[in-house]
Structure 1
Amino acid sequence: MSAPVDERISDEIEALEAILLDDVVIKKVDGIPKIIETVVHPSTGDDVDQQYVCVTLEVKLTPKYPEDSPDVALRNPRGLDDETLATINSQITKRLKECAGQSIVFELIELIRENLTESNLPSGQCVICLYGFVEGDIFIKTKCYHYFHSHCLASHLIAGEKYYQEELDKLPNWQQVQAPPYKQTCPVCRCHVSCDVEALKRAPHPVESTTAPPFSLTAELKALQKHMAALLARQIARGGVVGMGDTGPPPLTITTASDNEDEATNGATCSTAPPPKPPAARPAVKDSSSERDSAPGSPQARAPYKGPYRGFNRRGKPGRRPRGAPR
């Protein structure tokens, strides 16, 4: 039989469910609420497309809640950098101390929503061009809450479709028919996205890409080049470099009998130097068995087989279990 639930907790949960409806999840153990979870978005009215950031608030109710403060954690932040998350966490800690002994979950939701409304612009960098998001940039938010400059995402999707088509053309016709069609995916999490590539392509380039100063070889880059050159020289001295100018042995290649014959023929026709003399053989004791084996017509004297390799003989034999049959 489950223990009775504190009336203050029941009232708080009822209020949260009435306000947030399906946006709040109450996890219970033996009928007792243990975890309250909800995804918090910035306040943008009814325009959901303008919500560029979000975070999941997880509140674990302690056994003596609300007298004791609950355990609060922010999960799955989208569009928020570490500095913004640290600011929100510090404000949550302060609010928990100020409201000890009171129901605090809804106040925490409002606190986070205020911060998200002020930071309703994706922070960090576009993973395609590695430039940040600044005022004047035209960017897009995917369903998985990842952000890219519109022009960058268009270039990425066009290149991805081109690569897919090139790989598809290498397949035989029967595999091309069975291959699935190309699907647009998020560059970060590979989730399926649906974008109008032509509309994205018409967007301007990122602002920072047009205003960035031209590249110049600074003293820091020169020092880095010198350091990397020293590392390369050390690796060459230790014999651990494989790349351009490598004078080591050629890589192992697989040849056939016909290739060996062609190589021998080419070597015989193109070579002008006399063949090397074989080393002097050691005197050996004659053996009747060795003479018999090397006699014409013996198996050892037969020429090696140079025909095509036909694999193992897999014909069924009496008493042999067929492949795939139960033991």
Structure 2
Amino acid sequence: MSISIDERVTDEVEALQAILMDDVKIKMVDGVPEIIETIVHPSTGDNTDQQFVCVTLEVKLTPGYPEKSPEVFLRNPRGLDDDILDEIKKQVKQKLEECLGQPVVFELIGLIRENLTESNLPSGQCVICLYGFAEGDVFIKTQCYHYFHSRCLASHLIAGKENYEEEVEKLPHWQKISAPPYQQTCPVCRSNVQCDVDALKTAPPSVDSISAPPFRLTAELKALQLKMAALLAQQVAKGGVVGVGDTGPPPLTITTPADHDAAANGSSSSAEGAKAAAIVAPRPAPPPAASASDAAAAEPTRRVPYRGFNRRGKPGRRGRGAGAAR
């Protein structure tokens, strides 16, 4: 049974595919368009490197569209804080009310693009230095659309490479040979990135870090320090912090009675010494038997497997044993 589709919806879908081409995805259900999805960028002409923000627009065409408003979702925002997103959602809701009864997807794309063009500067904070982005900052947009001050990202990548090389040096030689080379990753999503560290580290520090007042220990910070110190002491008292305030042996250390005696006398032994003592300490000898008959009686009966068959249940061992006895 064929389902009738509003001609206005068909024309809108065809126009979107003709203009946006591969940049728009149309999900069809039983031949009827249900979801329209596209990534909206700010207007920067052909200079895509200057597109610092974006958002994915998803429009779900409800039954009865366009006489009924569709469901609109803004997903995967990049470079946009919550305030900007809330403002865009507010304008989208208003646009849906104004355009009720007519196709609205093109209107929504244009509305969102205008907002992104006005806000084509990353908002929020650089996750490395925790300072915001201001006019005059030199920052970089990674391939995964995350933003950092160029100098901050250079410091992060340099430190990451040094740490990786230190860990590789601890490996045995055969593992060093097969160890993969260091790969730059995004500090936020851990996606692989390609950055020129030498060029990034020549960038100046962020504007806010230069103009920020010097650190001053306020009464609020002092109160917070006292609160955290009390919490740490409580955790240590309950054994919740390993290695802090623990005067006993390290966890999972094998000890012997001699170690306990040494600890009682005030001397300390290392974990290695405790392990070595546990290995070489002889087991206590059993008390001597009163007589040979008593020892034989005290010794438990041992059951030895029949030697006439090997482990696979095949004959052979008994014959070899007999030959050797001769």
TM-score between both structures, scaled by the size of structure 2: 0.78
After TM superposition, give the deviation of residue 163 of structure 1 in Å.
Answer: 1.4
Aligned to 2:82: 82
Q: 1:82 to 1:261 in 2, by over 3 A?
A: closer
Residue 38 of structure 2 contacts residue 58 of structure 2 at CA under 8 Å; is this kept in 1? yes
After TM superposition, give the deviation of residue 79 of structure 1 in Å.
Answer: 0.6
Q: For 1:258 and 1:247, locate their aligned partners in 2 and report how far apart those are by CA, in whole Å.
A: 18
Aligned to 1:227: 227
Q: 1:26 to 1:132 in 2, by over 3 A?
A: same
Structure 1 residues 302-313: aligned runs within 5 Å:
none
Aligned to 2:217: 217
Aligned to 1:10: 10
Q: For 2:41 and 2:101, locate their aligned partners in 1 and report how far apart those are by CA, in whole Å.
A: 27
Q: 1:230 to 1:11 in 2, by over 3 A?
A: same
More displaced 10-residue stretch of structure 1: 75-84 or 18-27? 18-27
Aligned to 2:200: 200
Give the length in aligned residue pairs.
Answer: 283
Q: For 1:240 and 1:22, locate their aligned partners in 2 and report how far apart those are by CA, in whole Å.
A: 55
Q: 1:250 to 1:78 in 2, by over 3 A?
A: closer
After TM superposition, give the deviation of residue 189 of structure 1 in Å.
Answer: 1.3
Aligned to 1:136: 136
Q: For 1:83 and 1:192, locate their aligned partners in 2 and report how far apart those are by CA, in whole Å.
A: 29
Structure 1 residues 258-277: aligned runs within 5 Å:
259-260=276-277
Aligned to 2:189: 189
Structure 1 residues 1-150: aligned runs within 5 Å:
1-150=1-150
Q: 1:73 to 1:239 in 2, by over 3 A?
A: closer
DSSP-derived class of the 2:25 partner: strand
Q: Which consecutive residues of structure 1, in runs of 5 or more, have no partner in the other structure?
A: 265-285, 301-315, 321-327
After TM superposition, give the deviation of residue 17 of structure 1 in Å.
Answer: 1.5
Q: For 1:57 and 1:154, locate their aligned partners in 2 and report how far apart those are by CA, in whole Å.
A: 33
Residue 55 of structure 2 contacts residue 74 of structure 2 at CA under 8 Å; is this kept in 1? yes
Aligned to 2:154: 154
Letter paired with 1:89: K
Overall identity of the aligned pairs, in %: 68
Q: What is the CA deviation profile of residues 136-181 of structure 1, one whole-angstrom value per residue up to 9, with x for unaligned ones?
A: 1100001110001101111111111111111112222222222221
TM-score between both structures, scaled by the size of structure 1: 0.78
Instruction: Note the aligned Cα RMSD (angstroms).
Output: 3.1
Q: For 1:155 and 1:120, locate their aligned partners in 2 and report how far apart those are by CA, in whole Å.
A: 25
Residue 236 of structure 2 contacts residue 245 of structure 2 at CA under 8 Å; is this kept in 1? no
Q: What is the CA deviation profile of residues 213-259 of structure 1, one whole-angstrom value per residue up to 9, with x for unaligned ones?
A: 11111010121123234334545665655544433454332569992
Q: 1:115 to 1:291 in 2, by over 3 A?
A: farther
Residue 137 of structure 1 contacts residue 207 of structure 1 at CA under 8 Å; is this kept in 2? yes
Residue 2 of structure 1 contacts residue 32 of structure 1 at CA under 8 Å; is this kept in 2? no
